[in-house]
């Protein structure tokens, strides 16, 4: 019995010193096999147990079970610890962190915001919301474009019902504002508009417009021209080349278009003119008393010139390689 006790102590000491030193899972497995494997040192002692006389078996059994439990518990604890260390080593803390990519504003949003800022600087009040689904009355009729008038052909329209459509321009907002307010007024309203236009290099079927309206007494065409020149120079720089071309819109008289010189050609960016007396009549303003100008800018075309983009479709394809450039 004393022999057995001494043997147990020896194994225990040996096991303890080994388990303290062990640094990896393979070595730990070797220790497990050595002590409690099928032919392990502790396992072999149990075989000796069988040969002992019955009166010693009880005490010896207790001794051996205790040793076996100790060994098993220590191995399990060590295994946990080594596995945890291995997991931690899989993280290289010296690597730089992964940056979360933040989105940013779309180039057309940037242009619309810039237009708003310029307009604000010129004393316009900005209206950010207006309906994109519009009544025929506001989009056409009140703007001096009666039903069946050939001027309707200027806007290839997406009708929803006979009387309801996707607005073809931001000009209906002129009517909505004038119906609600009394002059003088100076407002600017960007928004999306829709046309059955081909989706080509310079046309989109859904695009932006931004419109200005100024009503007061004795407003002159010279003021309109000066305002638009300022707009263009603010946008493209003081050396930007622009030209006024006579044009026709049913709701302005006289009317003009402005084109900017870009990449060897003139690109039309806006329509404008003096508010037509018929429009004043439609909203109940006295055309003998009030005067005013209106203009409608095309932010898509402006973005093309400003950013040197030769195809409007790039703004709508949502290719991240393109959008990341801005």
- Interface with ligand FA5 (CB under 6 A): 169, 171, 195, 197, 203-204, 207, 209, 211, 249, 252, 255, 268-273, 294-296, 298, 300-301, 312
Cβ proximity to ligand FA5: between 22 and 127 the closer is: 127
CA distances from 28 to 36, 37, 65, 85, 99 (A): 12, 12, 21, 14, 40
Return the exposure string of 145-161: e unless at least 16 CB atoms fall within 10 Å of the residue's CB, then b.
Answer: beeeeeebeebebeeee
Residue nearest to ligand FA5 (CB): 298
Compute the distance between CA of residue 139 and CA of residue 99 in angstroms, rounded to an integer.
47
Secondary structure E strands in 136-205: 158-159, 164-166, 185-194
Cβ proximity to ligand FA5: between 63 and 269 the closer is: 269
Cβ proximity to ligand FA5: between 40 and 190 the closer is: 190
Report, in Å, the least distance between residue 244 CB and ligand FA5: 13
For helices 107-121 and 221-236, the axis angle rounded to 10 degrees is: 130
Report, in Å, the least distance between residue 283 CB and ligand FA5: 15
Q: Taken in order 118, 121, 123, 128, is the CA torsion positive or negative?
A: positive
Report, in Å, the least distance between residue 325 CB and ligand FA5: 20
Cβ proximity to ligand FA5: between 63 and 211 the closer is: 211
Return the exposure string of 289-307: e unless at least 16 CB atoms fall within 10 Å of the residue's CB, then b.
Answer: ebbbbbbbbbbbbbbbbbe
Report, in Å, the least distance between residue 154 CB and ligand FA5: 6
Cβ proximity to ligand FA5: between 12 and 203 the closer is: 203
Report, in Å, the least distance between residue 97 CB and ligand FA5: 42
Contact 308, 107 (CB under 8 A): no
Cβ proximity to ligand FA5: between 61 and 146 the closer is: 146
Report, in Å, the least distance between residue 99 CB and ligand FA5: 36
Compute the distance between CA of residue 18 and CA of residue 27 in angstroms, rounded to an integer.
10
Residues 6+ apart with CB under 8 A from 210: 112, 115, 116, 119, 170, 188, 189, 190, 191, 296, 297, 299
Compute the distance between CA of residue 195 and CA of residue 324 in angstroms, rounded to an integer.
28
Report, in Å, the least distance between residue 195 CB and ligand FA5: 5
Compute the distance between CA of residue 51 and CA of residue 69 in angstroms, rounded to an integer.
22
Select from 207, 211, 184, 183 the least CA-distant residue to 126.
211
Compute the distance between CA of residue 125 and CA of residue 245 in angstroms, rounded to an integer.
27
Cβ proximity to ligand FA5: between 46 and 221 the closer is: 221
Which tokens is 96 given?
């730089």
Report, in Å, the least distance between residue 268 CB and ligand FA5: 5
């Amino acid at each position: 019995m004393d022999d057995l006790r001494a043997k147990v102590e020896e194994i225990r000491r040996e096991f303890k010193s080994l388990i303290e030193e062990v640094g990896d899972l393979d070595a730990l497995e070797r220790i497990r096999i050595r002590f409690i494997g099928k032919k392990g040192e502790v396992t072999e002692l149990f075989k000796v147990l069988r040969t002992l006389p019955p009166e010693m078996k009880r005490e010896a059994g207790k001794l051996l079970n205790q040793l076996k439990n100790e060994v098993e518990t220590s191995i399990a604890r060590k295994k946990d610890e080594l596995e945890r260390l291995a997991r931690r080593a899989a993280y290289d803390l010296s690597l730089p962190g992964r940056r979360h990519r933040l989105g940013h504003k779309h180039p057309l949003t940037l242009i619309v915001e810039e237009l708003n800022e310029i307009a604000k600087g010129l004393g316009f009040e900005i209206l950010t919301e207006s309906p994109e689904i519009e009544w025929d009355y506001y989009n056409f009729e009140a703007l001096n474009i009666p039903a069946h008038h050939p001027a309707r052909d200027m806007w290839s329209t997406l009708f929803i019902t006979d009387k309801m459509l996707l607005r073809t321009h931001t000009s209906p907002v002129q009517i909505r504002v004038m119906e609600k307010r009394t002059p003088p007024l100076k407002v600017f309203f960007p928004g999306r508009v829709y046309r059955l236009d081909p989706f080509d290099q310079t046309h989109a079927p859904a695009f932006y417009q931004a419109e200005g309206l100024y009503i007061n007494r004795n407003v002159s065409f010279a003021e309109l021209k000066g305002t638009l020149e300022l707009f263009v120079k603010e946008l493209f720089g003081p050396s930007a080349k622009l030209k006024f071309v006579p044009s026709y819109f049913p709701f302005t008289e006289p009317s003009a278009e402005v084109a900017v010189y870009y990449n060897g050609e003139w690109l039309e960016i806006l329509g404008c003119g003096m508010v037509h007396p018929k429009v004043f009549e439609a909203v109940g303003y006295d055309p003998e008393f009030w005067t005013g100008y209106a203009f409608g800018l095309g932010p898509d075309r402006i973005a093309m010139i400003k950013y040197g983009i030769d195809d409007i479709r790039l703004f709508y394809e949502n290719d991240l390689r393109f959008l990341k450039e801005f």
